[in-house]
Structure 1
């Protein structure tokens, strides 16, 4: 018998539905969390997800390379 706090894993359709209900700011925050396990490979370089900033830009979430903070 599973512990009382156990919840069944969500199906893919449920995840997509939940994501669609989030605001852009919530989606950007979620992307920041997911980007820790992300690498973007281009012809000339690899960009690690933690090197990106995700911010709302109008009606989109924009990913830009993070600027070094002193």
Structure 2
């Protein structure tokens, strides 16, 4: 859910991934230089996969599941 809370009131299922994205940005960027964002691409992809399950669905289609 966009509020950050899951259906039962706790953190959403993707919240830990979002925390990793934010931590990566904090470590690798600053106000003068944001070129470190490139280092965060794998973490961001993991977060998007948690949200949308595109890779999981694509693998199931390829395998015929």
TM-score by length of 2: 0.28
Q: Which has the larger radius of gyration?
A: 1
Structure with the bigger RCO (C-alpha within 8 Å, sep 6+) is: 2
Structure (1 or 2) with the greater strand fraction: 1
Structure (1 or 2) with the greater helix fraction: 2
